[in-house]
Chains A and B, each alone.
Chain A
């Protein structure tokens, strides 16, 4: 790579490396081995300064004994293909918000420039909120982050190509520091906010001059009229869903998911980071859709909870735990699978059940089911309850 002479550099900020001529680039390209796979040539090793590459490394399975696990399996975006009226996958200029983010990224296919697929600069961009969210047919919940990221994308469009931006929304959800102010700023910048769910994205245009554009059809509920707006690009603000494979992770660690696939927290208000299984914590979107600041807060909280288990050295448990009477237990295994906290296990050597009193919460389900009354919950034993019944009816 030819470089600027030291004299040429003096007094200016010109780039030192002058770049390749075409011949130089072609020559450099010839060096490529076109192997497409690692042929173990070792070139990378010699080039790596910190010596971070080890070609002899291989996959290993490690078994670790841990006291707590933090589940942070994240999310995936809603696939808008089933919403055929939006034309995703049919019309080239319909994008998901994630695709549009990538387009805007400086390391993306256009180095951050907003262009249509045939290279034009868009003059009009539509952003459709609540795709797959707040939808009786798909996900009933609100995905929480889409309004804010839609506004961010609108702002980027305005900044980069000064196009007309139309945001079709149901409600604007902008809680958080500076969020409402950002919304106001967007309105001042001239983004058109139209309250109405988009009925259709079609390539049929009303004005022949708009041929090649997409028409977004929506009812503007505040103005009480149907709008048909021709745009160059349509961005679908897709909602969030639980990540793929969460069921397997959840089953493996012994936690459960709700009807929408989000992991069940211990308590919706007072226990957002813990799960009913002691020592298993959750953080981030796996517990429910949320943005980055909230995810970070949860992650730090979950880490703190995990650390608190370690640092204390001992924990306090309730005395109302189930206890197995080995003399009576016949090893029928009726109790083992009933425990929601996986506290009951079977000891093969003794052929009896065993309750881990750290995990046991004392609900008594196993005790009630035991056919020989070999398990009982301390302070709620059958004898005690029988005494209550007799006393109360005396």
Chain B
């Protein structure tokens, strides 16, 4: 179904380069962030392998390699390199990677207006915010650092839980809400870490 724009040869699967004439090809509709990096579509992933593939592909796709190429190749290189960078950014962050898997499965957790009722979490949220506000008001740098540390620990726990949920072969039919809820909790802890660190930095200066 696919044809190389340059030599017109037929291709089976979308590829970065035409196997015949080696010209750069557009991103195919069936290519997702995982296939762009040649990785299996799953939550578990080897970060070093991800970085290695990203760099190797960047070497061949980056617009720097096409500065003197014809307009069409320049455009395709920009398109491919953009998608590759986006893929790398998404996959190396476990929360974005999980959200992307949910999106591929039909649930866009971060779309506007999407919230997941999480009453159990409300009280905990208030406690965290209160502790943060207190430490900030007291100018308690050590306290702020402890809060950031605890929130980071919670993030690590959530990552483990999410990994466990994705291990269930039926996750996309049974556990989507469970995963989504943890992702929005993780977002909350991320904000705690960022705010505590910012407040801590402001204290130091």
Do chains A and B stick together as partners? no
Which A residues are closer than 8 A to B by beta carbons? Answer: none
Which B residues are closer than 8 A to A by beta carbons? Answer: none
